[in-house]
Structure 1
Amino acid sequence: MQITAEQYWQFSERVWQQHGARQTALELQDQHGLEPNLLLLALLLEQHGQFLEEGQFRLLRDAQAQWCEKMLAPYRQLRRLARNNLPTESYQQMLEVELVMEKRSQQLMLKALNHLRVQSSGDNLTACLRAQDIDPLALPGPMLEQLTHLFRSSEPDLPDTLAG
């Protein structure tokens, strides 16, 4: 099953609202350089019963790396710096722009995903982390527990918004 950009985005928004998901993803981003969108795609694939190997996750990471390095990461940094120096409305506008940029990152990964052969079994969490040179067993216990919970809570029956 091919995942659409809208399915990916809606799924990401739902996961982002789960307790601890945002904090864990942002800690992985800040401490290990793992783009949250790559982690979200690994989780979405898991829900679809689709699995990738470490090298394939590296390809997905690389597909959006230049965009993130040149555009998204600097904008994130600027937004974080502006947080306490802008009126709330202006800061919210910055967040909206960042979301548009996040969607672009997701689109770049989906485009690369369409050229990959997915497997029917595997371990997306480990493969995704190792693609970023992160040893899952070296992560702090609470972070690994939260990641494991997110992947284990994957529902085999997809909500209507994800059923293609």
Structure 2
Amino acid sequence: MSISAEQYWQFSESIWKQPGARHTALELQDKYALEPNLLLLALLLEQQGQFLDDNQFRQLEMAQGSWRDRMLAPYRQLRRLAKHNLPAESYQQMLEVELVMEKRSQQLILKSLERMRFAHEGDNLAACLDAQGIEPNTLPGNLLQQLSHLFQLCAPDDLPTYNLS
């Protein structure tokens, strides 16, 4: 199975538009250091019936970790600081630059993913969380419920299915 950068991005956008998805992903990023792009990939793989283990998710995190730490995370922080100090148009331009940077992060993840084998059963949510050292039962109930809801949304009937063959 091969996932193109465009398929990954389109799927990510479709998830991001779901009620509560953005808030859930950003809360996990801010409070638990879970990279949203890894969560989005876990959801995409779930939809396709493909599964990774926690070691594979760790490898994917490492594949984009340097980029995230040196470029993306500092830019995210700068953009957040600028939110109330810039005109709306300038802030929107910053968001657009950040999206370009997010796409680069996804490309780095996909490059690493190409070398991996998938299982036909598993638990992408648990593996993704475990790879980041997050114990699911330590998450607040509402956050775990929101995460479970996102994974339920990934049933092929609920979102556009992206043919990844």
TM-score for both structures, normalised by structure 2: 0.96
Amino acid at match of 1:159: P
- Rounded to whole Å, the distance in 1 between the matches of 2:61 and 2:33 is 11
Please state whether the residue corresponding to 1:79 is helix, strand or coil: helix
* Superposed counterparts of 1:13-24, under 5 Å: 13-24=13-24
Where does structure 2 lack aligned partners over 5 or more consecutive residues? none
Q: How far is 1:159 from its partner?
A: 2.9
Q: How far is 1:156 from its partner?
A: 3.0
In the alignment, is residue 110 of structure 1 matched against residue 110 of structure 2? yes
Q: What is the aligned partner in structure 1 of residue 25 from structure 2? A: 25
Amino acid at match of 2:10: Q
Q: What is the aligned partner in structure 1 of residue 8 from structure 2? A: 8
In the alignment, is residue 141 of structure 1 matched against residue 152 of structure 2? no
Amino acid at match of 1:108: L
Q: What is the aligned partner in structure 1 of residue 90 from structure 2? A: 90
Q: How far is 1:155 from its partner?
A: 2.1
- Rounded to whole Å, the distance in 2 between the matches of 1:152 and 1:126 is 14
Please state whether the residue corresponding to 2:128 is helix, strand or coil: helix
Q: How far is 1:154 from its partner?
A: 1.5
- Rounded to whole Å, the distance in 1 between the matches of 2:92 and 2:116 is 36
Q: How far is 1:163 from its partner?
A: 1.7
Amino acid at match of 1:42: A
Q: What is the aligned partner in structure 2 of residue 159 from structure 1? A: 160
- Rounded to whole Å, the distance in 1 between the matches of 2:152 and 2:144 is 12
- Rounded to whole Å, the distance in 1 between the matches of 2:155 and 2:32 is 28
Instruction: Map Cα deviations across residues 85-138 of structure 1 (whole Å, 9 max, x no partner).
Output: 000000000000000000000000000000011100000000000000000011
Please state whether the residue corresponding to 1:9 is helix, strand or coil: helix
Please state whether the residue corresponding to 1:126 is helix, strand or coil: helix
- Rounded to whole Å, the distance in 1 between the matches of 2:71 and 2:83 is 18
- Rounded to whole Å, the distance in 2 between the matches of 1:140 and 1:101 is 30
- Higher mean alpha-carbon deviation, 42-51 vs 150-159, is at 150-159
Q: What is the aligned partner in structure 2 of residue 119 from structure 1? A: 119
* Superposed counterparts of 1:24-43, under 5 Å: 24-43=24-43
- Rounded to whole Å, the distance in 1 between the matches of 2:147 and 2:155 is 15
Aligned residues: 163
- Rounded to whole Å, the distance in 2 between the matches of 1:81 and 1:33 is 19
Amino acid at match of 1:89: E
Instruction: Map Cα deviations across residues 13-64 of structure 1 (whole Å, 9 max, x no partner).
Output: 0100111110010010000111100000000000011000000000000000
Amino acid at match of 1:67: W
* Superposed counterparts of 1:35-74, under 5 Å: 35-74=35-74
